[in-house]
C-alpha cells in the first residue's frame, strides 16, 4: 500500500483513545473451501468437503463450495479491497487437494501457481501473507484410506507442508499448521456434522491424535526449510459452570475443558495427554494410536499460538440425561450446555466479549510459552444489501467487533502477550454445513453476481486499523 493511500485511510480516523501496542497486527482471515470455488480448475482433486456437501441432507439447502466466492478467479479484486481497508495481514488456507490431488506424490504445479500469484498480489499491496496449511479440506483419497483416523495421514501432511513451503516460503514468514483440530476431529468423526460425516468416537480420538502428530512432524520440517514463525490455531472454549457452587457443574467444566482444551494444549506444550482425557478415550476403544515418542513429536517448539474465539461455554451436570450418541463430546452424556442470557448472533451464539479476556488470561497463566494471535473472531448476522445506495448497514457486527477488541485490549493491559487480531471473515462465504445462509463477512458477497460490497463494519475496521485502536466510548 502506497504512503498516499495510508494518508488517505488515516484521514478517516481520529487519534485512538484506546491504543494497541506498536506493531500490533491488524488483519482478516478466510479458508480455501469457503471462498475459492473453482473445484475442477487447475488439476484440483476432490476433498472430503466436496463429498460431504454433495451428499443429500448434509448442508443447508444442498449448498456446496463448487463456486463459493469464486476467489480463485477474483483474488486480485479481493486483495485490492483489503488494500482499501488498510489490512496489514491476511490469513488464508491452502487447499491440500490443489497441491496433491490424491494426498500424495509430487506437487501439482498449477495448484502451487495459484498460491504463488496470491502471495505476490498480497505483498504488492503491502499485506503480510499468513498461511494456514490445513483448514479441513482433506483430500478424499486420504479419507478413503482412513483419513485422520490413520497414522499415514499425519506423515502425508508433513510432506505436503514441505511442498507448499518450497514454493512460497521465500515470501511467507508466518505459518499455521492446523486450524481448529477439535472441529476436524470431533465434529467430523464423532458428531458427523462436518466432513467426513462419521459418528465413531474412537475414530475421533484417533483423528485428534493424528492431527497433532501431523502438526508435530510438520513443524521441524518447516523450520529446517527456513520457516520464520510457526504456529497452531486452536479454538479453546471459555468454559464455566452454570452454578459455581455446584460440585457436579465444576466436574462438568473439568470434563469439557479436557475434551476441548487440554487434549490439545497439554501435549502441544510438552505436558503429554491429560490422564483424565485418556481415561475417557479408553471408554471407546484401545489407545493403539498413541505410540512411544508421539508426545515428544507433538511438543515441537512453537513461535505462536493462534486462538479462534466466538462464544463462551456454560455447562451443568444433568445426571441420568443422555446426549445423542453422535454428540461431539464423547463421554459427556450426562452434561448439559446452557445458553446464558444475553444477545446472540445469527448462529445462536451468545455474545460475551468478557469470555475472550478470561480465556486469554487463562492461556497466559497456564501455557505461557508463546505469544498469542487472535486468528479468528467475528459474527454472523442477517445482513441485507441496500441496493439503492450499495450499502450494507451492520451495526450489530460493529458492536460485536468493538466489544471483542476491547476484550483483547483488556487482556493486553493485564499482561497477556497478544500480537494481533484477524477478523473473521473478510468475505461472506460458504459456512460449512450452514451453507450460504450465514454471513460472517465484513464484505458482502452477492452470490448470484459475485459483486463485493464492503459493509459498514469494513469501513469501521478500516478506521480502527488507521488509528491503531478504538475510541474511548464503546460502540453499542
Q: Which pTM was predicted?
A: 0.96
Going along the chain from its start, the domains and CATH numbers come out as 3-468 (3.20.20.80)
DSSP 380: -
Q: Which residues lie below 8 Å from residue 443, measured CB to CB, with a gap of 6+?
A: 81, 426, 427, 428, 452, 453, 454, 455, 458
Q: Which of 121, 217, 376, 431 is catalytic?
A: 376
**Residue labelled with grid coordinates 481448529:** 180
* Alpha carbon distances (Å) from 452 to 50, 80, 211, 442, 455: 25, 11, 35, 10, 9
Which of these, 54, 49, 131, lies nearest to 97 by C-alpha position? 49
Q: Which of 143, 180, 352, 431 is catalytic?
A: 180
**Residue labelled with grid coordinates 466436574:** 251
What's the CA gap between 384 and 391, in Å, rounded? 9
| Full pLDDT tens readout for the chain, 476 residues | 332 333 343 445 556 689 999 999 999 999 999 999 999 999 999 999 999 999 999 999 999 999 999 999 999 999 999 999 999 999 999 999 999 999 999 999 999 999 999 999 999 999 999 999 999 999 999 999 999 999 999 999 999 999 999 999 999 999 999 999 999 999 999 999 999 999 999 999 999 999 999 999 999 999 999 999 999 999 999 999 999 999 999 999 999 999 999 999 999 999 999 999 999 999 999 999 999 999 999 999 999 999 999 999 999 998 887 766 568 999 999 999 999 999 999 999 999 999 999 999 999 999 988 999 999 999 999 999 998 889 999 999 999 999 999 999 999 999 999 999 999 999 999 999 999 999 999 999 999 999 999 999 999 999 999 999 999 999 99
Which of these, 378, 379, 54, lies nearest to 195 by C-alpha position? 54
240 forms beta bridges with 314
Provide the sign of the torsion angle of the four alpha carbons 117, 118, 124, 130, taken in this order: negative
Active site residue 180: yes
What's the CA gap between 415 and 418, in Å, rounded? 9
Determine the straight-line distance between the first and last CA of the chain, rounded to whole angstroms: 32
DSSP 328: S
Active site residue 77: no
Element of type H or E holding 255: helix 247-257
Per-residue buried b or exposed e for 282-295, using 16+ beta carbons within 10 Å of the residue's own CB: eebeeeebbeeebb
Amino acid at each position: 500500500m502506497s504512503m498516499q493511500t495510508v494518508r488517505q485511510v488515516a484521514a478517516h480516523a481520529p487519534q485512538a483513545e484506546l491504543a494497541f501496542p506498536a506493531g500490533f497486527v491488524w488483519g482478516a482471515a478466510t479458508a480455501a473451501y469457503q471462498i475459492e470455488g473453482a473445484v475442477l480448475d487447475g488439476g484440483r482433486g476432490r476433498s472430503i468437503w466436496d463429498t460431504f456437501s454433495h451428499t443429500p441432507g448434509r448442508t443447508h439447502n444442498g449448498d456446496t463450495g463448487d463456486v463459493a466466492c469464486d476467489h480463485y478467479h477474483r483474488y486480485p479484486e479481493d486483495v485490492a479491497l483489503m488494500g482499501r481497508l488498510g489490512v496489514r495481514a491476511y490469513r488464508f488456507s491452502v487447499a491440500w487437494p490443489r497441491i496433491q490431488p490424491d494426498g500424495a506424490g509430487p506437487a501439482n504445479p498449477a495448484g502451487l501457481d495459484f498460491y504463488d500469484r496470491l502471495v505476490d498480489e498480497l505483498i504488492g499491496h503491502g499485506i503480510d501473507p499468513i498461511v494456514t496449511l490445513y483448514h479441513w479440506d482433506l483430500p478424499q483419497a486420504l479419507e478413503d484410506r482412513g483419513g485422520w483416523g490413520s497414522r499415514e495421514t499425519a506423515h502425508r501432511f508433513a510432506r505436503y507442508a514441505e511442498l507448499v513451503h518450497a514454493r512460497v516460503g521465500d515470501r511467507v514468514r508466518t505459518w499455521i499448521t492446523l486450524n481448529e483440530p477439535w472441529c476436524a476431529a470431533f465434529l467430523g468423526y464423532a458428531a458427523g456434522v462436518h466432513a467426513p460425516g462419521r459418528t465413531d468416537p474412537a475414530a475421533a480420538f484417533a483423528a485428534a491424535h493424528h492431527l497433532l502428530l501431523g502438526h508435530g512432524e510438520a513443524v521441524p520440517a518447516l523450520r529446517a526449510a527456513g520457516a520464520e514463525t510457526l504456529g497452531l490455531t486452536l479454538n479453546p472454549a471459555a468454559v464455566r459452570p452454570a452454578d459455581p457452587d455446584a460440585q457436579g457443574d465444576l466436574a462438568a467444566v473439568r470434563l469439557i475443558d479436557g475434551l476441548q482444551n487440554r487434549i490439545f494444549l497439554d501435549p502441544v506444550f510438552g505436558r503429554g495427554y491429560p490422564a483424565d482425557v485418556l481415561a475417557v478415550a479408553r471408554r471407546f476403544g484401545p489407545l493403539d494410536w498413541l505410540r512411544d515418542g508421539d508426545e515428544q513429536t507433538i511438543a515441537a517448539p512453537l513461535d505462536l499460538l493462534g486462538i479462534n474465539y466466538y462464544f463462551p461455554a456454560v455447562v451443568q451436570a444433568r445426571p441420568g440425561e443422555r446426549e445423542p450418541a453422535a454428540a461431539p463430546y464423547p463421554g459427556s452424556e450426562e452434561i448439559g450446555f446452557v445458553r446464558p442470557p444475553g444477545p446472540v448472533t445469527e448462529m445462536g451464539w451468545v455474545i460475551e466479549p468478557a469470555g475472550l479476556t478470561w480465556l486469554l488470561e487463562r492461556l497466559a497463566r497456564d501455557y505461557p510459552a508463546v505469544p498469542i494471535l487472535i486468528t479468528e473472531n467475528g459474527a454472523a448476522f442477517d445482513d441485507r444489501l441496500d441496493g439503492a445506495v450499495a450499502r450494507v448497514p451492520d451495526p450489530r457486527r460493529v458492536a460485536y467487533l468493538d466489544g471483542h477488541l476491547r476484550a483483547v485490549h483488556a487482556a493486553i493491559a493485564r499482561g497477556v502477550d497478544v500480537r494481533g487480531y484477524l477478523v473473521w471473515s473478510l468475505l461472506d462465504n460458504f459456512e460449512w454445513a450452514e451453507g450460504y445462509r450465514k454471513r460472517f463477512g465484513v464484505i458482502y458477497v452477492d452470490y448470484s453476481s459475485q459483486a463485493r460490497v464492503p459493509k459498514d463494519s469494513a469501513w469501521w475496521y478500516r478506521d480502527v486499523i488507521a488509528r491503531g485502536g478504538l475510541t474511548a466510548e464503546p460502540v453499542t
